[in-house]
Structures are given as structure tokens and as C-alpha cells.
Amino acid sequence: MSNRAAYLQAAEELRDNPGQWAAYESRGHCVVLAGPGSGKTKTLTTKMARLLAEDVAEPRGVACITYNNECARELEARLSSLGVEPGGRVFVGTVHSFSLTQVILPYAKVAGLGLPDDFRVATNAEALAALDDAAQVAMGAVPNLQTIRSQMGSYRRSILNRDSDLWRDTNPRLARLAEAYEAELRVRGLIDFDDMPLLAVRALRENPWLQTALLAKYPVLVVDEYQDLGAALHRMVMGLCFSAGMRLFAVGDVDQSIYGFIGAQPQMLQRLAEREDVEIIRLQLNYRSGHRIVAASGAVLGVDRGYAAVDGAPQGEIFFHSLGGSYEVQARRLMTDLLPAAMAREPGVRYDEIAVLYPAAWIGNAVAEAARHAGVPFIRTDGNALYPRSSRLMQWLELSAQWCCGGWRTGSPRFSQLVSEGRRLFGDAIRAELDAAAFHRALVACLWEMRRPDMVLYDWLQRFKRTVLDQHAQLSPNLRDELNILGSFLERVSPDADYAEMTVAEFAGEHTFDRLMLSTLHSAKGREFRFVFLFGIDHGRLPRNGARPDEINESRRLFYVGISRARTEVHIAYTHGNSSIFVDELQARLN
């Protein structure tokens, strides 16, 4: 099937949904307000394929910014099925990646950012060391470096204009610390993660010609999960789209904004949607959840958004479970009683269609231990997982493992995807075509000889590291944190360690093998399951004790996100006599 035929066929599947079709047909600035399960990713990727085929002439292209690397990987996979490959005319990545690769690296010197020619991205350890030295100068001794780092990060992300009274006067202590910290980084030839969008915004603001240069390359800017991306991205959009002339296609949902602790501000999407020069389209049909689950989601918000399940969707069920005892006791009840009973109601349901979601990773420890004791296979994607799910290197290794576990035969993932993602990962080390050809040969030779799902993972990783990673990683200094993550994981799967028996098949990913998903509510965003168990939904946990009004509102949205992950059953478990206010409200509204 040709590229054009692929996206036209996908477009026909949008025609029966008025909102999706209107988004596909939009011509100017467009904001799509998309509820849970409304097919927003399908709409966005089909629209991008059309833009590249019909609206944007080569060699110009389209840039797509999304929340995290996992979101970017999903978008790339969807685009690939429509014949659109990242690279060349198409950028798909995070706001940090866009800032670094499209603004800072090519233009830092001429844009007057004051960075040394050989600057690099600080590792976590280097950033902490710079902050420690800066804090000694700006504040004296700091009792908790991680706490002050979090506070400073929020301050840097929320107030972008360093020349304003707002920056100087809101919290002079944090302003001084941030300036001292950034100066210390520069002395060391470093920038940090938060620097990327901040420097990009500054470069674009101070150099109007740079906005024109980006417009020449990307006449269309697509933004996914707009509500999650913060002040820096919003400032870029305002400049690039409403001053320089890029066309905007943005998708988001203010009700799913749950990352306020890292700078997300849902009101920015709301303000964007209120502009007279922006077309607003609402996706209100829910293709995921049963009727009662959609109704319960609306009851959680306390606002009627007009969402409805599609005709023919199951009714869906909401169950409330008041459990006694500690979380360890409750988790055992979950694994030995509630979970088996739910699975018995729908014969044939698999573990990988079920998720247990909780407010904090430490609560997941009890669930994981109970699952181990009950012999239930599981995978964790929270902060206590074997490795961070956001790691680009670990994601690429997972894909490579999936290829070795049958993907080489089925084409999922395609080997070309491994090559393209590897080239982006090791960008500094693979530039010339000769280098790319050598990388391709090394990768295929290594993986072809390791197509053994039962191979001990430690041996597989060590061989992969020796024959592929070591050669290229040493030329990619910005990957040092990623390599540290891999090193820590290798220790966990090494002989005599706690996961020494893990195989390549077990590592290959939650989409390949039958495992129960254990996750925080935050980490579950963007996913869907047949059954969802919300565990530990207690007073003092959701929302936390002493939460401000804005934090309570965000906790409500987090509860909403958890419920709306489910297709047919939602189970809400809480400690007897200590239920969350959201549980009490939902029970009252459903009765």
C-alpha cells in the first residue's frame, strides 16, 4: 500500500465521527479538546500524514512535540503504519529534545546564548554537584539538596522572564540560587535538563530571525498532550505560531492535567482554546470505556463534558471495596480474592489486560509482594521499577529484545525501526553514512545471533553492550545518565542478584507477554486496560494531607485519569473508615 493510500484509508475511518473528521479537515490553527478514549492519537497521526502529503511541500516538514519519550515512540509507531518515518522532514519528540536539537545545538553560538562550543548535558550527579556548590555561595549550608532542587526547578520553569520583577521578587532566595546554579553549570561547560526549553525560549525571543528559520523548516507545529507541557512550550507556541506564522495543530484535555509538580498549567490550554483565531474541536465519543464507566468519570469531575460511550459498548461496572488492615493485608486480599473473582467473570481475560494503580510507588511495594506470593506475573512502571520507563536507552533495548523474541519473523518491531531509533540515540556517534552502515552491520550481526527468548538476560545484555553499545556510547557523552541506568539494571540481573534468572523474553516488554501491570496513577496516563483496580484510594493519600486547593483539583483529575483507563470494570479499593473524599463523592453521585 502506498503512503497516500495508507493515510486516506485511515481518514475514511474518521469520517463517521464528526469531531475527528472536522479535525482532519481543519485548515488553520486548530485545538482539539479530546476526552479519554476519544481516538485522539489516531486523529493526530492521520492529520500529520495528510499535512505531509498535501499541505507541506518538500523539503519542508512538520514538527510534533509531545510529553515524554514513550508518547513519542507511540506516535512514531502510528506514523510508521501510515508510511511516515521520523527524520528528515518529520520531527517527533519531547519539548526538551526539540529545544536541544532544533534550536540550541544548531544556533547556540549565533543566538548569543553564551554557551561554550563544547558544552554538553549534565549528568544527574554533575547537576547535583553544581547545585551544592551554588547553594553554599547563595544560601549557605542546605540541609536537603533534593528538596531545594525541586523548589528551584519549579521556580525556573514557572517564571521565564529573568528581567521581570516577578522573577526577582516572588522568591528572591530561589531566584538567587537559580542564577548561581546556572552560572556554576556554565563554568563547568554544562547545561541541565530544564535549561533546554528555557534557553530555547530565550533564543527565540531575542532572535526573531531564528523564528523565521524554524518556520522555513517546519511550517506546521503539532503538539500532543498540550496540557502537560508547561510555560516554556506555551511561550514557544505563542511566538512561533501567532507571531512567526507557523500553523498550529494541538491536542489536549484540561481534565487530564496531572503534572503540576513539574510545571504543567492546564489554564494555558484553556487560554489557547479561547483565542478567536483558533478553531476549537471537541472529541466526545469514548471508544474505550463502557457506559457506566463514562458516567462515573463525569461524576468524578462534577462537570458535564458531554462525553458518551459509542453505540454497542458494554455497560461497564464500578465496584467499591472497603478493605481492612494494612496495605500488605489489603494487597493479599486483592490478589487472592478480588482479582481472581474479576477474571472469572470474563473468561479468557489475560493479566496484561489488567492494571493495579495506586497514588504512590511505596504503596505498590505491598502489591508487588502480594503478587509474588500469589504467583501472579507482573511488571512495574512506577518509581520502584527495575529501571525508569522513560529511559530512551532501556526502551531501545526492550525493542531489540522484542525483535529477538519473534519480531524478526513478524516484523513487529521492524528492524528498520531499531536502526532509526539507535541512530537518534547515538546521534553524536553516527553522523556520516559510513558510520551509519557500520552501525547497521554491527546491530544486525549481534541481534541475529541472539534470537533466543530463553537466553539469560544478563548474558544477552553483556554481549549487546560489548558489541554495539560500547563502541558508540563512548562518543555520545550526553548518554552517560542512560548508561548509568543500564549499569544499575545490570547489577540487578547479574549472577547471584535478585533478578539473576530473568530471561530475554521476560525483559521484552509488557505488550509481548502476559503480565499484570502495577503502576502509579501518574505513570498510567495514556494507557488502557480491560480491568482497572485503584488501590489505596484513602484520605491523606488522594489528595494528600494538607493539600492546597489547586493540589486537590489536580488530585481529582488524577482520580479521573485512573477511572478512565478502564474498558469494562473499575475496582476502587480503600481502607475501611478512611476513604478518600473522591470515593465518598462518587458513591453518593452514583447512588
The helix-helix angle for 145-158 and 124-138 (nearest 10°) equals 90
C-alpha cell at 217: 523548516
3-class DSSP state for residue 322?
A: strand
106 in a known ligand binding site: no
Q: How far is CA 175 from the centre of its chain?
A: 29
Listing from the earlier edge strand, what are the strands of the sheet with 90-94?
90-94, 62-66, 220-223, 247-252, 30-34, 279-283
Enumerate residues 6+ apart whose C-beta is below 8 A from 182.
Answer: 195
Enumerate residues 6+ apart whose C-beta is below 8 A from 220.
Answer: 51, 55, 56, 62, 63, 246, 247, 248, 249
38 in a known ligand binding site: yes
As a whole number of angstroms, the distance between CA 402 and CA 397 comes to 9
3-state SS, 159-191, equals: CCCCCCHHHHHHCHHHHHHHHHHHHHHHHCCEE
Beta-sheet pairing, 529-534 with 354-358: parallel
580 in a known ligand binding site: no
Number of other residues whose CB lies within 10 A of the CB of residue 324: 10
Give which of 241, 237, 268 is closest to 254, Cα–Cα: 268
Give which of 261, 233, 263 is closest to 158, Cα–Cα: 263
Enumerate residues 6+ apart whose C-beta is below 8 A from 150.
Answer: none
As a whole number of angstroms, the distance between CA 141 and CA 49 comes to 54
Q: How far is CA 457 from the centre of its chain?
A: 26
Q: Containing H/E element for 249?
A: strand 247-252
In total, the chain counts a number of residues equal to 591
Task: Please state the φ and ψ torsions of residue 337, each to the nearest 5 degrees.
Answer: -125, -65
CB 378 within 8 A of CB 371: yes
Question: DSSP state, 455?
Answer: S
C-alpha cell at 105: 545545538
Positions at the binding site:
34-41
Positions at the binding site for ATP:
34-41
